[in-house]
A and B are shown apart, each in its own frame.
Chain A
């Protein structure tokens, strides 16, 4: 039984009506859209696509979709800034889509929350790496791109077990000291989130 706070990503559904569609895609997240849509889809004329490649190379394929608006961002941070600027003047007739790694989806959800959009209203698809953003529950420091559990907190050096317990507000999984009672023991890390 999965822990309740573990986010669920239902995948892209492009058939919901709206006056305007805004896609924020990170890396392999571009495929969530590319695999579901062909350039003749009528929604593309009302679509804006924001894409942050982070090493992927789907730019040409997205350009061919000929969406109403397309922006390639040099980084996910810049993409999310552009996303916020769009949301600040958007209307309720707008459908939002986010695809990419969990950290990216969570960051997009938090940007949208600032404009009164609930996470459940955003169409999401997880693509690419399973790496996690983890908060150390002891020192509160954040650790990015965690692929194994347990791991050493980069801030306080405690040896942390990665829980499925996810904080929406912090956009991070919770890491808890795994050897508090037997500090000399270091269970072997397992690569769980490649």
Chain B
């Protein structure tokens, strides 16, 4: 089961690190050290946004060696369902937030002989602690970091200064793009590929890697898809005997939580599979927005990932 031991933290610093990216420094309210984490881990931040509970995952970008604070970076996404705009416009230094324990769904493979990191935009964050730890241990890595413009991209100058020969930056506004086919075709055996960035970029890179013959075991990604909005729908929770209404800009999981039902989750982005729930009855169509279920499982209509997936129709009953 998921361990949901939440902690209260105080926002001790906010810094605008790029055009639409703010970095938040969080310290525990009770003055205790932060829990240990390994590079690649994320936390889930709970926020009361206009009376509605939101829980968004953010990669930890602070040093795993520093037990006194966590740092995360948040890209402000206009016209999204919220969360990022709330973090940007409402949260101020001194405010209190609730965060989860760190969860790592994007760890560095310790047996890798070489690590290839590809970041797009705010997807740089998990690679910052990864590079720090690998650099200390003498691990081999390279970072390919794509940004829209120099003012839109965060931390590119710091990373270039820290690891001068191992960080390559492609600035879209300056007309430069990485040729991922060229990059992936000659990587030595034993290289692991890690991608964090927009979904299209991730799919593009993984398609190239698979076509070239990269082993599935060497491909790693982190993708924090915001739960898509959609028409409101009603769901019956069989085990807890409740009926809930999922609002337009709310996920099924968030609605379940609002009803006071403790459901399992880890990534809240349709990737990890932790929240997989059995569908007991449905008359309509499940909109599968996850990237976890297989095509057969989708077709069977017996499973749903409540963190991102929705339903159109009547009589959805799930086992929660």
Report A's interface with B, CB cutoff 8 A.
16-20, 87, 90-95, 113, 115-118, 120-121
Contact = CB atoms under 8 A, between A and B. Distances in A.
B190 interface: yes
Nearest to B186: A91
B217 interface: yes
A121 B216 CA distance: 7
Contacts of B112: 116
A142 to B, nearest CB: 24
Interface string B204-248: 000001111111111000000000000000000000000000000
A91 B212 CA distance: 10
Contacts of A91: 185-189
B111 A116 contact: yes
The B interface, classified by DSSP as helix, strand, loop or mixed, is: mixed
Interface of B: 111-114, 184-191, 209-218
Closest 8 CB pairs of A and B: A116-B190, A18-B213, A121-B215, A116-B113, A93-B212, A118-B217, A90-B189, A93-B213
Given A116-B111, A120-B217, A87 B210 contact: no
A32 to B, nearest CB: 19
Nearest to B113: A116
Q: Which of B113, B188, B210 has the most CB of A within 10 A?
A: B188
B189 A17 contact: no
B191 A116 contact: yes
A16 B191 CA distance: 19
A91 B190 CA distance: 8
Contact of B218 (A20, A90, A92, A95): A92
Contacts of B211: 17
30 contacts: A17-B210, A17-B212, A18-B213, A19-B185, A90-B189, A91-B186, A91-B187, A91-B189, A92-B187, A92-B191, A92-B214, A92-B218, A93-B184, A93-B213, A94-B189, A95-B213, A115-B189, A115-B190, A116-B113, A116-B189, A116-B191, A117-B189, A117-B190, A118-B218, A120-B216, A120-B217, A121-B215, A121-B216, A121-B217, A121-B218
A19 B190 contact: no
Most chain-A Cβ atoms within 10 A of its Cβ — which of B188, B215, B218? B215
A181 B158 CA distance: 67
Contacts of A90: 188-189
From DSSP, what is the main secondary structure of chain A's interface residues? loop
Contacts of B212: 17-19, 92-93
A161 B163 CA distance: 55
Nearest to A20: B213
Q: Which of A90, A115, A118 has the most CB of B within 10 A?
A: A118
A117 B112 CA distance: 9
Contacts of B216: 120-121
A120 B112 CA distance: 14
A17 B213 contact: yes
- Chain A CB within 10 Å, residue with most, of B111, B210, B211, B213: B213
Given A19-B185, A92-B189, A115 B215 contact: no
A94 B214 CA distance: 7
A113 B184 CA distance: 21
Contacts of B209: 92
A90 B114 CA distance: 14
Given A87-B189, A93-B185, A120-B217, 11 more contacts: A17-B212, A18-B213, A19-B185, A91-B189, A92-B215, A93-B212, A95-B213, A113-B111, A115-B113, A116-B112, A116-B189
Contacts of B214: 92-93
A122 to B, nearest CB: 9
